[in-house]
């Protein structure tokens, strides 16, 4: 539960209708209803009584809402204390996959920020399910979801269920990232059989969606054959690849500058299920801020550059 959820509950109480509150908050009614039900489960009591005429707070709900309004007022006071008089604030609130081209775009965005004015930036690198949940709940305003195209139906359905808009940003075949001293560095054709002799460095919080048993068995069999090291940040990934020459990673295309920094190379590969998409997501009705637009424009320019490599 966060302050955004408190705002949702207070808005419902003010309007007296979940459906009308959802419209005011640019959300779907099912999405808002589920968020309130989740809050009620975590609290252990109902906040609202539901009826055909709308909703009214329960006795415990009234007390909860009183505390919620007080918390929101205090937060607003604190924000106003540190808010510049001219309201010229740089804001970016994004959840993204761990990808060097996205991180580099973020640094380019920061280079255009006026640090002599107020800056409020929240940039989270995490897995695709968490990104979708963060944007749906209001923890982040925009997100970039990465998925292998064999999981596309699952993720696009999940995005739709959360009542989010989506737009394709980047479609690519993963590259095999490795040290210049890797045994496969001179190979022109790298397939599953060649790759499984070496250790893959991957991210330990990636999620595999529920699939038909036959497909899940096939995927798990392939994963069992592969030797792997799981990490949770790009820095560790690059350091391992740089220091241990029998390791590799599958990732989106990497810029020459980053390859040079860690003495790495990237190679085309033809391992199975290697085609991926990066998709921009945001809540229905959300209007991009100027900072959102700047970040997305920089991102699209970066992607066009990567396509030329």
What tens digit of pLDDT does each residue of 156-178 get? 999 998 889 999 999 999 999 99
pLDDT digits (tens, 9 = 90+) for 282-293: 998 888 988 999
Quick one: pLDDT band at residue 86, thresholds 50, 70, 90? very low
24 half-sphere exposure, CB direction, 13 A CA radius:
15
- Mean pLDDT of the region 77-83: 59
The rounded distance, in Å, linking the Cα atoms of 165 and 27 is 11
Residue-wise pLDDT for 136-147, tens only, equals: 888 899 999 999
Query: Residue 181: pLDDT above 90?
Result: yes
According to DSSP, the β-strands at 164-173 and 227-231 are unpaired
Q: Is the predicted pLDDT of residue 22 greater than 70, yes or no? A: yes
State residue 253's pLDDT score.
Answer: 95
pLDDT of 31 reads 84
Answer whether 175's CB lies under 8 Å from 266's CB: yes
* CA-based torsion, 25, 29, 31, 34: positive or negative: positive
Cα–Cα distance for residue pair 309/307, rounded to 1 Å: 6
Task: Report yes or no: 259 and 182 within 8 Å, Cβ to Cβ.
Answer: no
| pLDDT at 85 (0 to 100) | 46
CA–CA distance, 33 with 47 (Å, rounded to integer): 12
* Confidence at 221, pLDDT banded by 50, 70, 90: low
Packing angle, helices 29-43 and 3-15, rounded to 10: 110
Average pLDDT, whole number, for the chain? 87
CA-CA distance, 291 to 228, in Å (whole number)?
A: 38
- Cα–Cα distance measured from residue 271 to residue 256, given in angstroms and rounded to the nearest whole number: 23
CA 191 to chain CA centroid, Å, is 29
Confidence (pLDDT) at 249: 95
- pLDDT of amino acid 224: 61
What does DSSP assign to residue 273?
S
Environment class of 160 (CB within 10 Å of its CB; exposed 0-12, middle 13-18, buried 19+): exposed
Percentage of residues in the chain having pLDDT higher than 90: 57
**Buried/exposed 177-194: b ≥16 CB within 10 Å, e otherwise:** bbbeebebbeeeebeeeb
- Hey, what are 273's tokens? 């299920």
- Report angle CA 54, 58, 63 to the nearest 5 degrees: 125
Q: How far apart are CA 257 and CA 252, in angstroms?
A: 15
Q: Which domains occur in the chain, in start order?
A: 3-81 (1.10.10.10), 90-169+277-307 (3.40.190.10), 175-273 (3.40.190.10)
Per the model's pLDDT, the better-predicted residue between 110 and 84 turns out to be: 110
Q: Which of 4-18, 20-34, 39-53 has the lowest mean pLDDT?
A: 20-34
> What pLDDT shows up at residue 260?
94
Bridge partners for 123 per DSSP? 94
């Amino acid at each position: 539960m966060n302050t955004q959820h408190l705002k949702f509950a207070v808005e419902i109480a003010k309007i007296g209708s979940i459906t009308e509150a959802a419209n005011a908050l640019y959300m779907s009614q099912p999405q808002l209803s589920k968020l309130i039900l989740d809050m009620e489960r975590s609290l252990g009591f109902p906040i609202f009584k539901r009826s055909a005429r709308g909703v009214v707070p329960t006795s415990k709900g009234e007390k909860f809402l009183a505390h919620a309004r007080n918390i929101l007022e205090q937060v607003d006071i604190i924000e106003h204390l540190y808010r510049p008089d001219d309201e010229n604030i740089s804001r970016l609130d994004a959840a993204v996959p761990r990808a060097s081209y996205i991180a580099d775009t973020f640094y380019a965005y920061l280079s255009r920020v006026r640090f002599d004015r107020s800056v409020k930036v929240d940039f989270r690198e995490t897995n695709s399910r968490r990104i979708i949940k963060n944007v749906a709940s209001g923890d982040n305003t925009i997100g970039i979801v990465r998925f292998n195209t064999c999981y596309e139906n699952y993720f696009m359905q999940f995005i739709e269920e959360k009542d989010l808009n989506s737009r394709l940003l980047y479609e690519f075949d993963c590259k095999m990232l490795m040290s210049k001293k890797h045994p496969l560095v001179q190979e022109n054709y790298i397939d599953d059989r060649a790759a499984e002799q070496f250790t893959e460095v991957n991210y330990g919080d990636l999620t595999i969606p529920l699939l038909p048993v036959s497909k899940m068995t096939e995927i798990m069999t392939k994963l069992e054959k592969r030797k792997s090291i799981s990490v949770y940040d790009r820095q560790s990934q690059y350091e391992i690849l740089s220091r241990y020459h029998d390791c590799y990673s599958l990732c989106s295309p990497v810029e020459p500058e980053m390859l040079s920094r860690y003495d790495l190379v990237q190679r085309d590969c033809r391992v199975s299920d290697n085609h991926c998409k990066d998709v921009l997501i945001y809540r229905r009705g959300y209007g991009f801020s100027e900072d959102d637009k700047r970040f997305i424009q920089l991102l699209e320019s970066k992607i066009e550059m990567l396509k030329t490599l």
